[in-house]
Structure 1
Amino acid sequence: MKIKVIAVGKLKEKYLKDGIAEYTKRLGRFAKVDIIELADERTPDGASLLQKQQILEKEGQKITAKISDRDYVIALAIEGKQFPSEDFSRLLAKKAVAGYSDFTFIIGGSLGLSDAIKKRANLLMSFGLLTLPHQLMRLVLTEQIYRAFMIQEGSPYHK
């Protein structure tokens, strides 16, 4: 199995990098993990709606270039479906049994995700209505993917 996390924006904070590296290492026993960091487009102060749309489209093109046709794509979006950790774990297991071996998770930039990316996604997923920094979301997502595998294994980690 392969897990790919595509994230728009640069991760600068060492403590976040360290946390993500730890969960990526732990995930290594279940899947090959690839974290792809894409440069975000500069958003000028007071950007118009049109400018924001153009930025989203440019970032969307960069994301699309990293997605394979056979990937099961889960895009993080505030309007997406929320899951308890157990249901998220079951979803990944069910999709793996259905023949998916490549899972791609997408975290957009500060403006979110383009409509094209949302349409390409097999699933829009939300971690709630709270707004989290994109950098922190990478750590939360990586931990939840690890938790999903530990639930499948019946490990006490989840308790």
Structure 2
Amino acid sequence: MTIKLLAIGKTDSGQLQQLIDVYEKRLQHYVNFEIEIIPDLKKTKNLSEEQQKEKEGELILKKLTPTDVLVLFDEKGKQFSSVEFSQYLQKKMNSGIKRLVFLIGGPYGFSNEIYLKSSGKISLSKMTFSHQMVRLFITEQIYRAFTILKNEPYHHR
């Protein structure tokens, strides 16, 4: 199985990107993991929030294949402990899917079409985080999940 993290907009902070890179590199020992960034929309001043979500949704759909399993990071999603998240990933791997795509949306969330295409929603917290920090948190949690599944000591530090 491949795990893909798809996100809207680049990471402006070099420090955050360095940390993301650390966990992305560590993950290569466990799973095919990739991060793809969809550039921010240009000329959005005259677009409503709904129009921006629709345009982002079109860009996202172009990045998906028919067999992808899409999971959204959404404030209304299910919350997991790290151990529960590792079990969630194990179930996904056991199900035989080819590619699990985790999606971080733009500043206004997702279009209705993206919600319809998704097979689930996960919430990291009831708090709101910057999209850039969410990338780091998700990458670290995926890494943590694999160390839990392999019974390695990282989770207990």
TM over 0.5: yes
| 2:116 paired with 1:119 | yes
Partner of 1:39: 39
Counterpart Cα distance in 2 of 1:16 and 1:91: 26
Q: Which amino acid aligns with 2:98?
A: S
Q: Which amino acid aligns with 1:8?
A: I
Deviations 1:7-66 (A, max 9, x none): 00111111111011000000001112221111122542xx77xx1111100001111111
Counterpart Cα distance in 1 of 2:55 and 2:20: 26
Partner of 1:61: 58
| 2:77 paired with 1:80 | yes
Partner of 2:67: 70
RMSD over aligned Cα atoms: 1.3
Return 5+ residue gaps in structure 1 as ranges.
Answer: none
Give TM-score scaled by structure 1 length. Answer: 0.92
Deviation at 1:120, TM superposition (A): 1.0
* Superposition map of 1:7-156 within 5 A: 7-42=7-42, 43-44=44-45, 51-156=48-153
Deviation at 1:127, TM superposition (A): 0.7
Counterpart Cα distance in 2 of 1:139 and 1:87: 19
Deviation at 1:117, TM superposition (A): 1.0
Counterpart Cα distance in 1 of 2:30 and 2:71: 18
Q: Which amino acid aligns with 1:148?
A: A
Give TM-score scaled by structure 2 length. Answer: 0.93
Counterpart Cα distance in 2 of 1:121 and 1:19: 28
Q: Which amino acid aligns with 2:38?
A: L
Counterpart Cα distance in 2 of 1:41 and 1:55: 8
Give the secondary structure class of the aligned counterpart of 1:7.
strand
Return 5+ residue gaps in structure 2 as ranges.
Answer: none
Deviation at 1:101, TM superposition (A): 3.2
Q: Which amino acid aligns with 1:41?
A: L
Deviation at 1:71, TM superposition (A): 1.6
Give the secondary structure class of the aligned counterpart of 1:83.
coil
How many corresponding residue pairs? 155
